[in-house]
Amino acid sequence: MANTVAVDAVGNQSNGSGATTDDNSTLTIGTGSNRALLVVVCHAGHLSGGETVVWDPSGANQSLTLIGTQAAPSGAPFPLVSLYGLVNPVSGNKVVRTSWTGADSYYVCPISFTGVDQTGGATSFAHFTRNSGNTNSHGDTVGVTVYSAVGNMVVACHVNNSWTVSDQNNTTLFLDFGNPEITGAANYADGAETVAMTVVLDADNMNWAACGVDIVAAGTAPATSVSGSASQSLGISQSAAGCDSPRLAPAARYSSSSCQASLGAALPAMICINCFAS
């Protein structure tokens, strides 16, 4: 019988500006079975190089794997969000150390789970989904819709280049307006066939980005789904190679040879098609 993913512990967000590293010591991981750690990171977008996230740098020194990232499409310096994951993190109250190149404003927030598939990578952290845009009116609801399943959990991260997010759905991991350049937010929810993870932007002309992931229960293979660019209202996840770039026009995405070879034919233009996820 498959396990059910459960929240083990929730940390507090840390934030700052003009920095290149952050040590967040607010999470205490328990001793439950099939543990996993997820860290959400938001940036204003001044980074000039790579980023690393490490759990317990002075002890076990476990490096997290980048699950995925998404930048806003406009509004330089292009705020961006990233998700990092680790299976089998050591238990205890440890430090999450996040380091990057290029002084930047940021948010970092950790959350841990039990009951998670211990394979790691896209098997444990499946159906990564990203989205971005520029809101045109006060009160727009934006975010991502993530493929998942009953027994799994979903986590999403959101950022914008203003200071006005009036609400977010599901359970709040954090929501903060205290950064001088950006607002950061994150939320989580129980898994279902699809799970909408959204925030409400409370101003006009805001550049935003969001991404989300399915935390897969131990003994459960990720559900097979059609994938495509997440920068559309359907919120369909993207993962397969060949046509997953949000920078491509829809015609370029769904008509790529790898997609058509996998699907056997081009599909309607309004459905941004990737390939069937394995």
The pLDDT of residue 156 is above 60: yes
Name the band, by pLDDT with cuts 50, 70 and 90, for residue 163.
low
77: preceding bond cis by omega (within 30 degrees) = yes
- Can you read off the two tokens belonging to residue 188? 């989580």
Centre a 10 Å sphere on the Cβ of residue 237 and count the other Cβ atoms it contains.
Answer: 29
Task: Assign 224 a pLDDT band (cuts: 50, 70, 90).
Answer: low
Decide which of 212 and 245 is more confident.
212
Q: State yes or no: pLDDT of 165 exceeds 80.
A: no
Alpha-carbon distances of 132 from 11, 73, 79, 127, 248, rounded to whole Å: 26, 6, 10, 17, 13
| pLDDT at residue 84 greater than cutoff 80 | yes
Q: Give residue 31's pLDDT band: very low, low, confident or very high (50, 70, 90).
A: very high
- State the maximum Cα–Cα separation within the chain, in Å, rounded to a whole number: 53
Averaged pLDDT of the chain: 80
The two counts, helices (H) then strands (E), for the chain are 3, 18
Cα gap 53→63, rounded to integer Å: 6
Smallest CA-to-CA distance from 201 within 156, 159, 140 is with 140
Q: Judge whether residue 17 has pLDDT over 80.
A: yes
pLDDT digits (tens, 9 = 90+) for 231-275: 333 333 333 333 333 333 333 333 333 333 333 333 333 223 233
**Phi and psi (nearest 5°) for 257?**
-60, -35
Task: Name the least confident of 24-38, 49-63, 106-120, 127-141.
Answer: 127-141
Q: Rounded CA gap, 107 and 270, in Å?
A: 35
Ranking 4-18, 75-89, 193-207 by mean pLDDT, the lowest is 193-207
Task: Round to whole Å and give the CA distance between 130 and 15.
Answer: 22
> Per the confidence metrics, is the pTM higher than 0.85?
no
User: Distance (Å, rounded) from C-alpha 278 to C-alpha 275?
Assistant: 9
Residues above pLDDT 90, as percent of the chain:
56
**Average of pLDDT values for 197-210?**
82
SS3 104: strand
For residue 201, what pLDDT band results from cuts at 50, 70 and 90? Answer: confident
Strands (E), the chain: 6-10, 14-24, 28-29, 36-43, 51-55, 62-63, 65-71, 80-87, 92-93, 96-114, 125-135, 140-147, 153-160, 165-168, 171-176, 183-190, 194-201, 206-215
pLDDT of residue 137: 67
Mean pLDDT, to the nearest integer, of 67-83?
87
DSSP letter at 231?
Answer: S
Mean pLDDT score, 10-35: 97
More confident residue, 233 or 115: 115
Give me the mean pLDDT over the 124-150 stretch: 89
Tell me the pLDDT tens digit for each residue of 172-185: 898 887 777 888 89
Tokens of 55: 């759990």
pLDDT above 90 (res 45):
no
